[in-house]
Structure 1
Amino acid sequence: MDEKTAELRDIFIETTGSDTVTERQSESRGSLADVDDPEEVRERVADLVSTMRERYEFETDLDDDTLVTLVVGYFDGDADEDLAVELGVAPEVIRTARFDLHLVRDADRDAPFDMDRLDKLLVEGADDDELAEKLDVPVDLVREFRPVAAADIRSTRVNHRFRDDFSELLTDDDLSQRMAEDARNDGLREATEDIETDVSL
């Protein structure tokens, strides 16, 4: 509490004889932070997954409960192969589901070409053949990395809201992750700066 807030609080208490409003102000107002109960965390993650499903067309048919387990495992450091065994699906399905949820690993972006250029070309509407020609790579390689770039672009268009909300719920401190992605995000912002977006939900 800063000095000004403390002063206003004292005035309020002196005037009303109660600090009820101050106590209410100190409570969480929908913040994702400081949620300690595992069941409540899962419920909050499930709400985010449900919101994303309404907003986007998911590529996989995994149900929300399975996707919640995937999100929790992702932030717990589980590899796609481990999640695939746990959830009884192929690793490729886990990868696609992660992209549906804007959860892209650094390793996903390890392409033999400039991913920022791929982002820009995608935003401009290039198809796979055009991408392959302009990036001077085989079409198969384009098809491998296009979903990665598309997931990053979707995430950027909502200011990484969903990824950051997941992170806030499931990690103690996501600062290092954000710092590590600064360069990547700068490139995406440049690629999408001319696009009008509606981030209100």
Structure 2
Amino acid sequence: MINPMPLYHEMYRQMGPQYWWPADSKMEIVIGAILVQNTNWNNVDMALTNLKDETDLNVTQILGLPIESLQSLIRPSGFYVNKARSLQAVLKWFDQDNCDFVRIADKYGSGLRQTMLKMPGVGEETADSLLVYVFDQPAFIADKYARTLFGYLGFRNLRNYSKLQQRIKLPKSFTYQEAQEFHGLIDEFGKQFLKSRKDFEASFLGGFDKHVLDL
């Protein structure tokens, strides 16, 4: 098992707060979490701007769009046919409870993550991102940057999302705010230092002792 907290504290000390996820509303986060799959944020930003201009990200208005119009608006994010279908399904699910995030969390309880995973286009990373940023629940988001980081730190067999997440042991005191910060820290670090092992070794984590993370 891996205790990630020494790493979190070192990254926070070096980089400061990241204030993730950058968005004006939780519904923007929901939509962004679908659109960001298999693309970069610049493309998502263009798609979000199109949706904002057309619907102001109003769920009723988005669901009222013909599927072809929705596909056209989100086209910059790529895979727009599948993403439009996923977006409709996810927004319909939220709309069933009037997009009341607290009510939805209470309704599904510990089964919330599994319920989201049953929706089209919602994988583990998307579900955990929604848990952390929309439902204010702590979770470790084991995205590609996280897997690369822990791999460079010397941990092996992190081939996929669940392999890393299952090895992370978060303390009971870990808050959703810390989960948001940790995800933001890792992704911002990744953009700067995880393009190659050489970049990583030159970073402030290049000499980090992985043994302090062992449980």
Q: TM-score, normalised to structure 2's length?
A: 0.31
Q: Which has the higher contact order (CA 8 A, sep 6+)?
A: 2
Q: TM-score, normalised to structure 1's length?
A: 0.32
